[in-house]
Structure 1
Amino acid sequence: MAPDHARPGPPQLRGAGRMSTRRTTGTAIAEALAANGAALAFGIPGTHNLELYRGMAASGIRHVVTRHEQGAGYAADGYARVTGRPGLVVTTSGPGLMNAMAAMGTAYADSVPLLVLSPGVPTGRERADYGWLHEMKDQRAAADAAVARSVRPGTPAQAVDAVHETFARWAAERPRPVHIEVPLDVLEAPWDGDVPGPWRAPHPPAPSPAAVAEALGLLTRAGSPVIVAGGGSLGGAAPLRVVAEALGAPVVTTTAGKGVLDEDHPLAVGPFLGFAAARKLMEDADVLLVVGSELGDAELPDRLAPRGAVIRVDLDPAQLHKNLRATLPVHADAREALAALAAGLAASAVPAGLAGTERAGERRAAEARAGCLEQAVERGDRWREAQDALRAELPGDVVVVGDSSQVSYLGTAPFWPLSEPRRYLVPVGYSTLGYGLPAAIGARLAEPARPVVALLGDGAFMFSAQELVTGAELGLPLPVVILDNHGFGEIRQNMLDRDIAPYAVDLARPDFAALAQAMGCHGVRVTNAAEAAKQAAAALTAARPTVIVWEVGP
Structure 2
Amino acid sequence: MTTVGERLVEGLAARGVEVVFGIPGVHTIELYRGLASGAIRHVTPRHEQGAGFMADGYARVSGKPGVAFVITGPGVTNTLTAMAQAKADSVPMLVISGVNRRASLGLGLGMLHELPDQAAMVRALCPTERLDDPADLGPMLDRAFAAMLGGRPGPAHIEIPTDVMGLPCPALEAPAVLPQPPEAAPQALEEAASLLDAAQRPVILIGGGCRRAGAQVQALAEALDAPVVQTTNARGIMHGHTLTVAASASLAATRALIREADAVLALGTELGPTDYDAYVNGQLPDLSGMIRVDLCADQLARHKARLALRAEAGAFAAALLPRLTPRKGDGAARAEAASRAARAELADLHPAMPDQLAMVEAIRDALPGGLIVGDSTQPVYAANLCYDHDRPGGWFNAATGYGALGFGPGAAIGAAVASGAHVTCLIGDGGLGFDPAELRVAVDEALPVTFLVWNNAAFREIAEAMIAAQTKVIGCSPSPFDMGHFAAACSLPFARVPQEPEALKAALRAPMQGPRLIEVQAR
The two structures share one fold, judged by TM-score above 0.5: yes
Alignment equivalent of 1:433, drawn from 405, 418, 427: 405
Q: Aligned equivalents of 2:283 and 2:118: distance in 1?
A: 36
Asked if residue 391 in structure 1 is aligned to residue 386 in structure 2, the reply is no
Q: Aligned equivalents of 1:266 and 1:67: distance in 2?
A: 44
Q: Aligned equivalents of 2:164 and 2:137: distance in 1?
A: 8
Asked if residue 485 in structure 1 is aligned to residue 463 in structure 2, the reply is no
Asked if residue 211 in structure 1 is aligned to residue 174 in structure 2, the reply is no
Alignment equivalent of 2:102, drawn from 106, 123, 126: 123
Q: Aligned equivalents of 2:433 and 2:262: distance in 1?
A: 47
Q: Alpha-carbon deviations, 1:185-225, whole Å to 9, x = none?
A: 22221224x22111112222111111111100100011111
Check the 8 A contact 2:213/2:313 in 1, yes or no: yes
Check the 8 A contact 2:370/2:424 in 1, yes or no: yes
What's the secondary structure of 2:275's corresponding residue?
coil
**CA apart distance, 1:308:** 7.5
Query: What corresponds to 1:311 in structure 2?
Result: 291
Q: Alpha-carbon deviations, 1:397-424, whole Å to 9, x = none?
A: 11011111111121x3345422331101
What's the secondary structure of 1:466's corresponding residue?
helix
Query: What corresponds to 1:381 in structure 2?
Result: 354
Deviates more, 1:334-343 or 1:165-174: 165-174
Percent identity over the alignment? 36
What is the correspondence of 1:66-77 to structure 2 with a 5 Å cutoff?
66-77=45-56
Q: List alignment gaps of at least 5 residues for structure 2.
A: none
Check the 8 A contact 2:210/2:313 in 1, yes or no: yes
CA RMSD of aligned residues (A): 1.7
Q: Alpha-carbon deviations, 1:236-261, whole Å to 9, x = none?
A: 21111111111111110111111222
Q: Aligned equivalents of 1:343 and 1:126: distance in 2?
A: 58
Asked if residue 466 in structure 1 is aligned to residue 437 in structure 2, the reply is yes
Alignment equivalent of 1:454, drawn from 421, 425, 432: 425
**CA apart distance, 1:334:** 1.2
Deviates more, 1:160-169 or 1:43-52: 160-169
Alignment equivalent of 1:184, drawn from 162, 168, 178: 162
Check the 8 A contact 1:224/1:361 in 2, yes or no: yes
- For 1:365, give the aligned amino acid: A
The 1:398–1:518 alpha-carbon spacing in structure 2 relative to 1, beyond 3 Å, is same
Query: What corresponds to 1:284 in structure 2?
Result: 260
Q: Aligned equivalents of 1:66 and 1:127: distance in 2?
A: 30
The 1:504–1:136 alpha-carbon spacing in structure 2 relative to 1, beyond 3 Å, is same
Deviates more, 1:496-505 or 1:374-383: 374-383
- For 1:173, give the aligned amino acid: G
Query: What corresponds to 2:137 in structure 1?
Result: 159
What is the correspondence of 1:233-252 to structure 2 with a 5 Å cutoff?
233-252=210-229
What's the secondary structure of 2:347's corresponding residue?
helix
**CA apart distance, 1:468:** 1.2
What is the correspondence of 1:321-336 to structure 2 with a 5 Å cutoff?
321-322=301-302, 324-336=303-315
Alignment equivalent of 1:294, drawn from 235, 253, 270: 270
Q: Aligned equivalents of 2:497 and 2:344: distance in 1?
A: 29
What's the secondary structure of 2:114's corresponding residue?
coil
Check the 8 A contact 2:19/2:41 in 1, yes or no: yes
**TM-score of the superposition, structure 2-length normalised?**
0.95
Q: List alignment gaps of at least 5 residues for structure 1.
A: 1-21
Alignment coverage as a number of residue pairs: 514
Q: Aligned equivalents of 1:195 and 1:551: distance in 2?
A: 55
- For 1:117, give the aligned amino acid: I
Query: What corresponds to 1:544 in structure 2?
Result: 514
Query: What corresponds to 1:401 in structure 2?
Result: 373
What's the secondary structure of 1:502's corresponding residue?
coil
Check the 8 A contact 2:147/2:154 in 1, yes or no: no
Check the 8 A contact 1:152/1:180 in 2, yes or no: yes
**TM-score of the superposition, structure 1-length normalised?**
0.90
- For 1:409, give the aligned amino acid: Y
Q: Aligned equivalents of 1:26 and 1:197: distance in 2?
A: 17
